[in-house]
Amino acid sequence: MTVYSDRFTGDELLTDADTLLEGGRHGEAVFEVQAVRLEQSDEFDLVRRIGLEEIHMDKKDFQAYFRAYEKNVRDSLREEGKDGNAFRLRAEGCVKELLSYFDDLQFYVTGKGKQEYEAGKAMVVTSRYHGDAPDPVFSFWKDGLRS
């Protein structure tokens, strides 16, 4: 089984057993995962399994966070001998789209991530309901993960 962890905190975020959605508009930049509501609960499988905690971000907070996060991911990729600018290019259109429906988003971090995300040293996971779907789709930055 492949496990994907946060590049900076090491927290496990995904596995290849999760329901990854194919063909999303920003498939090069993010993994999209269909969440499933737990029976007799308002909680979702991913939130419980990963230990995600919801946080509040306004648009200004998110933009400041993402600038720092993007720089940290780029630097980390360069240290590994990879093209750090590729993340910026892949994420650019995705971030613009996120900002266009910002009020529909929810934001989550792990326990460790709660102390680190403001410095851009942890992934902020977003979720959003698509259309009339009963459960949200969670998005994870691919370059912010290690397998």
129 neighbors 136 (Cβ within 8 angstroms): yes
Please state which architecture CATH assigns to domain 3-146. Beta Complex (2.170)
> pLDDT of the chain along its 147 residues, tens only?
889 999 999 999 998 888 778 656 666 888 898 888 888 888 888 899 999 999 999 999 999 999 999 999 999 999 999 998 999 988 988 899 899 999 999 999 998 888 888 889 999 999 999 888 888 999 999 999 998
* pTM summary value: 0.90
Q: What is the pLDDT of residue 24?
A: 61
Contact assessment for residue 120 and residue 72, using Cβ atoms and an 8 Å cutoff: yes
The domain segmentation of the chain, as residue ranges, is 3-146
